[in-house]
A and B are shown apart, each in its own frame.
Chain A
Amino acid sequence: MDPAAAAAAEEEGGEKPPVIYTMENKPIVTCAGDQNLFTSLYPTLSQQLPREPMEWRRSYGRAPKMIHLESNFVQFKEELLPKEGNKALLTFPFLHIYWTECCDTEVYKATVKDDITKWQNVLKAHSSVDWLIVVVESDAKKKNKTNILPRTSIVDKIRNDFCNKQSDRCVVLSDPLKDSSRSQESWNAFLTKLRTLLLMSFTKNLGKFEDDMRTLREKRTEPGWSFCEYFMVQEELAFVFEMLQQFEDALVQYDELDALFSQYVVNFGAGDGANWLTFFCQPVRSWNGLILRKPIDMEKRELIQNQEATLLDLRSYLFSRQCTLLIFLQRPWEVSQRALELLHNCVQELKLLEVSVPPGALDCWVFLSCLEVLQRIEGCCDRAQIDANVSHTVGLWSYATEKLKSLGYLCGLASEKGPNSEDLNRTVDLLAGLGAERPETANTSQSPYKKLKEALSSVEAFEKHYLDLSHATIEMYTNIGRIRSAKLVGKDLAEFYMRKKGPQKAEVYLQGALKTYLAEGWALLVTHTRKQLAECQKQLGQIENYLQMSSLLASDNHLTEDERKRFCQEILDFANQQAESQGQKVILSMHSFAQLKTLHFDPPNAVVHVGGKLSVELTLLSQMPIPVQVDQIAIYVHFNIEKNSYRKTAEWLTKHKTSNGVINFPNEVAGFPLSRNNLPALELYEMYERSPSDNSLNTTGIICKNVHMLLRRQESSTSLDIPSGVTLEDGAHMLKCNDLILEPGINKISFKTQAKEPGTYTLRQLCTSVGKVQFVLLHIYPIVQYDVYSQEPQLKVEPMTDSLLAGIPQKVKFTVITGHYNMKSGDALQLSNADAMPALYNPEIKAVIYSNTREKISESSLRIQSSEKITSISLPVTPAYHVIEFELEVIYLPSTPESAVERENTVNKEAHRKNKEKQKPDNRMATVDQKVTIDCPWSIYSTIIALTFCIPFNAKHSLLSAGKRKYVQVCVQNLSELCFQLSDNSLKNSASCADLQLVPLNPESQQVIYSKQSIFFVWELKWTKELPLSLQCLFSVSFCPATSEEQSLSLKPFTYEFQVENFFTLYNVKTEIFPPLGAEYCKTGSLCSLEVSITRLADLLEVDKDEALTESDGYCTTKLMYEVVDNSSNWAVCGKSSGVISMPVAARATHKVHMEVMPLFAGYLPFPDVRLFKYLPHHSAHSMQLDADSWIENDNLSVDKNVDDQADSSSIRSRSSLHSAASGEHKGLPMPRLQSFSSGQVFNCSTGMQILVVPSKDDHVLEVNIT
C-alpha cells in the first residue's frame, strides 16, 4: 500500500467510521439515484439484510460458508471508486446501487435515463461491474398518475437500456413501506438478490485481490521486495475477512505472515539473508512487552508501515492480532500456548539474528508479555474456566517466575546484602527500556508494567513478587498433578532462600524434591539435591542430619573424588573433635557408610556346642573414599533360649543347616527407585495348627511374616529418617572388634566368640564407632542366627546289616555320642553278658573318633576285657561333643529249650493243618529278641538295648511208611539270604530206647544249602521189640556260612525237636479192579468189579484199646468204616460206596468188600481212593467234640453212617428215607463218630495204581483235543 493510498484511507476515515476499529467495519455499498427514496428505505434494509444467512461459495476449493451479510450504505461518489493500483480493500465499494422511483416514461426519458447512464459511465471508467438498479413501485404513485404505462415498461426500458444480457441487475421493489404480503415477497426477492450480488462481488474482488497478493509474494526473491509492504497487503485481506466475521480466514492470513517471517529468519540464520531483514536486526532498545488490550496496536502498525519496526515490534503486533482473533474465536487457551511459543521463539530469533540486547532486557520483555497474556486471558474468561485450564497457562506462570528470578539475580535483588551500585545502574537501564506505561493500563493497579517496576524497585518488593509468583506456580502445578515441575520450581525457590540466608525455608523444598527424586530413582538429581540439602543443614546446624547427608554424599560416586573426600573429611573431623563436655554420640545409618556384603560362620552350619568356638567373618564394603580409622565394630546379638525342644538335639541342628556358612546380603543398588529397592523378599514359613485336645493337625498353611513390610505405604519410606530413638541393645551379647582401619572397598572383619549358654543367637545390629560417630545398621536382614546347644551323652547300638541272623558271628556298631561328657581314661562300657549272646573279642577292633560335625579326628584301638559276667570295653579318651564309633562282633546261639518247645508246638499245629500250611508258606524267619544291659560311665542307670536276631532255618518232619517199614524225613528250609554249609546232621531218639535204631540214609556229611532252598534228610526206623506209642526225636545239624573261609569257633548246631506218635502200621488196604467177566480190559460205560481187601497186620496192640473194640470169646473185633471216593470223577461208584465193617483184631485177618464201579473215561485211570476210619460208638463222651477237619465233607457218607451196617438200600432211597434221621441227629441225638487213623497206621498198597480202560465199541464219539 503506498503512502498516498494510506492517506486516502485516512481521509475517508474522517467521514466514515474509522477503519481501525475493524469490528465496526462493514462492506461498503454505494447508493446513487433518489437519495430520499433510499433514506426512507434504509432502516428496513439495514435491518433485514443480515437477518438470513447466505451460502458463500469460495474459490480454490475452500469450504463454503454461511454468512450473515451486513453493509455500510454510503452515498455514491466518484472518489469512492478505487483508483488503478490502489489495493485498499476496506474502503472498496463492493456494490453500487441505483435507486429510482420513476414510473413515468417521460420522466425516465428526461432525467433518470441520463442519470443512470452517467452513473454507469463512471462505473465503467473504474471497470466496476458490481451494480444494481432498484425500481421502487408504490400504489400511491400509481393512483396519482392514472394514465401511465404499465409499470413493467419502465423496468423493461431500464433493462433494455442498461442490462443487456444481465436482466437480473435490475430489480423491482413494490410497496416497500406497506405491510402486505406482496410487499414482503418483493422485499425477500430483493434482499436475496442483494445478498447474491454482494457475495458475487466479494468472490470476484477478493479473488482478484488474492491473486495480486500472491503475485506480490512471488516477487519476494527480487531485490527491492519489502516484507512490510507485503505485510500491509495481506493484512488488508485479513481485515476484510474479519469484517465479514470470517475470523478463521483472517487468522490464516496472519499465520501465513508469521510463517513467512519465521522462514526468513531461519534462512537468514542459514546465511541466506534478505536485505530487508537486516532492518529488523537493529539493537533492542525498548522491551515493553506485548500489548493485547487493543484490537489493533496502531503505534506498532505504523512502525511496520513505515518500515521502522524492530523484530520485537513486528512479533508483538502480529501476536496481538492473532490474540484478538483467537479470542473472537473463543480459543483463549490457544493464545496462552502460542504466547509461550512466541516468547521462546523471539528469544531464539534474536539470538539467531545476533541482535544486540542489553542484559535483562529480554527477561523484562518476556516477563511483561507473560503477565499481559495471562491478564488478557483472565479478562475474557471466568474464574472457573481459568481454573479448569490451568494446564494451559501454568507454563506462562512458570516462565514469568523464571524470568523474574533471573532479573532479580541480575539486579542483585536476591542476595543477602542487596544490590550494589553496579546492580542499581543495571536496574535503571532496564527500567528505562520499559518506557512509560501505556495509557490503557495506566489505571489498572496490577498491570504487568507496574508489577515489574515495583519488583525491581527494592529487595523486599522483589521478594514479595517472586514468592507470590513462585507459590502460585507451585500451587498450579500441584493442582494439575505436575508434581515434578512443582518440585523444580520449589528447588529454585530453595536456591533463592539459600542466597537470602534463609536455610530453614529452603529445607522444606529441598526435602520435598529429594523425596521425589529418590522415589523415582534419579541418581544425579538426588546427588545434586543432597548437596544443596547438606549445605542447608550445615547452616541450620542440624549436625546429625548434616553428617548423615555427608556420609551419603561421601559414598556417592556421582560426585568427584575430591568432593567425596571433602564430605568424608567433614564426618571424620566431627568424629575426632574432643568430646566437649557432653559425650553425646551421634548415631547415623550405616547404609551410606558401608554395606554388609556377606557373613561367614565357622563352623559353617553356625551350630556350636556349649563352650565351642565360633568365628564370624563379615565382609563390609566401605563406601568412603578414604581409609577410615574405626574404634570399634560391634555386632549386637539377641539371645533367645530355645523354645522348641526338638531343636535341641545336635542332629536336628546339623541336619537343618546345610548352608556353607556364607550368608549373602542383597545388594542395594543405588539409583533405583525406592519401590524397587526397598521391597524386602517374602519371608514365608510353614504353619501348623494343632487342636489343643488331641494334638491332631487342624490346619496347615504358609505364613508371610513380613507382610507389614510389604504392604505398607511406600511414600513413608525414605532412607533419610532414622528413628530418633535408636537405641542400641544391651551389650550383654555383643561381638566386638577393636581398632581397625576400613579401607575403601572390601574389608573382612573377624569376630571370635566362645559359646556359653545354649540357645539361639540372632545377629541384630551392626555398629561401627568412629570417634563420636556411630554408624548403625539397624536390622541385619536376612535374619542371621547361630545356635548353641548342649547335648546328653548317648549310646547307640545298631546292627551293620538289615537284620541279625542267629548262629553266626555278626558285627554290631556301637556309637557313643559324648555330648557334654568328657571321656576320661578308664571310662568303659560294661556289657552284662548273656549266655546266648557272647561278645566276640577281636584284638584288631579300632574305635574311630569323630567330631560332632562328622569329621574324623583320630583312631585308637579298643581294649576289651571279658569276665564271666561282664565284658568291659574301655573307651578312648575323648573330649566332649565328639562321637566314638566302633564295631563289635556278636553271635547269638539259639539253643534254649523253651524256644524249641515253642517251635515244636507250632510244628505240631502245622502238621494238623497241612492244607492251610501249603497255602501260605512261611517265608518269614522266626525272630528272637536279645536284651543287653550296658552300664555307661556317664550314667548310674543301665542302658538296655534289645537286638533282634532271626533264625535262618525252618524245619519240618514227616513220617513215611512202606508196609511195615518206617522212615523219618526232616526238611530244613533256609529262609535267609545267605548260603550255609550244613554238616554233622543227626537224628536221635531222645527216649533212648535200646531196641530202636535210626539208620541214616543221607549220603554226605556236608551239604550246602542255598538261600531260600530246602534240604531233606531221611532216616529209617528199625526196631527189634514192640514199638513205643510215641517217638521223641531230636534233629540237629551244624551250620556255618558257606562263604566264610575259616571254620568258626564253637558254633552251636541248629536243632529241631519233634515227636512222632502211633506210627505202627495196623492195616493194609489193597484195592483191585477186575474187568467184567470174559472181558480182557475194562471198558468205558461197562461195570467192573472193585475189590477192597483190608488186612490186619498186627495183633492187639495198645493203640487199639478204645471204645470201638469189642471182645467176645477171646476174639477182639473193632469197627472200621471204609469209603471209596473218586475225587477225579473218573469212576462212577454204583451202589454203596462206603460201609462199616467189623474187623477182627488179629494179625492177617482180612476183610474183603466188593462193589461195582464204572469207568467214565478211557485210558489209564488211577484207582479210586479207599479211606479207612475207626468207627466209634455213639455213646462216646467226646462225640460232640469232633474235630471238624476229621470229617469227610460228604453228606452221602454222613447219611450212610447212620444206617445200620447191613442196610442194603439204594443211595437214593436211603437219602430220602433217612432224611428225618439226619435231622434227628441235629436235634442232639447221640450219633456214632469217625476217627481217622494217624499217618502210618494204615498203609494203602494200591496208592498210585492205574488200570487201563478201553473205550467201548459203540462209542463213536471221538474227542480230540488239539492244543
Chain B
Amino acid sequence: MAVCIAVIAKENYPLYIRSIPTENELKFHYTVHTSLDVVDEKISAMGKALVDQRELYLGLLYPTEDYKVYGYVTNSKVKFVMVVDSSNTALRDNEIRSMFRKLHNSYTDIMCNPFYNPGDRIHSRAFDNMVTSMMMQVC
C-alpha cells in the first residue's frame, strides 16, 4: 500500500509525514518535498478554471522508477501527498481517491479538536492509526 503519507501545510512545511519504517525516511522526505513543485503547478493551473466544482484530488503528481506520488489538496490548501510503490499495480485511481478521502476525513477530525492549533504539527493517535492502517492494508 502506501509507503509514505504526508500532510503539508498551506505554507508548504510538513504537518505530518510518515513512511514505512523499513525504508530510508530521508528519501521520502525528498520525494514528498519535490512533489510540491507539481502540486503547486497543478493548483495554479486549475485555480481559476474550476473554482466551484474543484476536484480536490490532483492525481498522479509524478512517477519515479520505484514510486508513484499522488496528490490531493483541501480547500484550505493543505496538501496530502501519498507515495505508493510502483510495483503495487493493484492500486487504481479509485482506491487512491478513497484513501485520500479517508485521510481528509481524519484530518478534518483533527481540525475539529479544540486543542489543536491549526498549523501545528499533527500529533494524534487516531490519525496515526489511520495512516498505519493505510500503510498496512493490502500488503
Contacts and interface: CB of A to CB of B under 8 A. Distances in A.
**Does B associate with A?**
yes
Contacts of B33: 484, 488, 517, 520, 522, 525
Given A347-B65, A481-B40, A482-B37, A521 B29 contact: no
Interface string B61-91: 0111110000000000000000000110100
A682 interface: no
A344 B119 contact: no
Given A344-B65, A522-B29, A481 B12 contact: no
Given A351-B87, A488-B30, A525-B29, A520 B11 contact: yes
Nearest to B67: A344
B42 to A, nearest CB: 11
A520 B12 contact: yes
A1161 interface: no
B11 A676 contact: yes
B30 A525 contact: yes
A348 interface: yes
B12 A673 contact: yes
A330 interface: no
A348 B26 contact: no
Contacts of B14: 521-523
A340 interface: yes
Given A391-B41, A484-B33, A675 B63 contact: no
A528 interface: yes
Interface of B: 11-14, 25-26, 29-30, 33-34, 36-38, 40-41, 62-66, 86-87, 89, 119, 121
Given A348-B86, A676-B119, A528 B63 contact: no
Contacts of A520: 11-13, 33, 36
B63 A482 contact: no
A1007 interface: no
Contacts of A485: 34, 37
A676 B14 CA distance: 13
Contacts of B89: 266, 269
Contacts of A488: 30, 33-34
Nearest to A265: B89
Q: Is the interface of A mostly helix, strand, loop or mixed?
A: helix
A341 B37 contact: no
A1247 B48 CA distance: 103
A715 B25 CA distance: 28
Nearest to A391: B41
Contacts of A343: 65
B63 A481 contact: no
Given A395-B62, A520-B33, 4 more contacts: A341-B63, A482-B37, A484-B34, A525-B29
Contacts of B62: 395
Contacts of A672: 13
B47 to A, nearest CB: 14
B11 A481 contact: no
B63 A524 contact: no
Contact of A484 (B11, B25, B37, B87): B37
Interface in A670-729: 671-673, 675-676
A352 interface: yes
Q: Which 7 A-B pairs have the closest CB atoms?
A: A521-B13, A482-B37, A673-B13, A520-B12, A524-B29, A484-B37, A266-B89
A125 B72 CA distance: 64
A406 to B, nearest CB: 10
A672 B64 CA distance: 28
B95 to A, nearest CB: 15
A326 interface: no
Contacts of B41: 391, 480-482
B127 to A, nearest CB: 18
Contacts of B34: 484-485, 488
Contacts of A671: 13, 121
Contacts of B63: 340-341, 344
A344 B60 CA distance: 14
Interface in A519-573: 520-525, 528
A269 B86 CA distance: 13
B64 A344 contact: yes
24 contacts: A269-B89, A340-B63, A341-B63, A343-B65, A344-B86, A347-B65, A348-B66, A481-B37, A482-B41, A484-B33, A484-B34, A485-B34, A485-B37, A520-B36, A521-B11, A521-B13, A521-B14, A522-B13, A522-B29, A528-B26, A672-B13, A673-B13, A676-B11, A676-B13
A1061 to B, nearest CB: 88
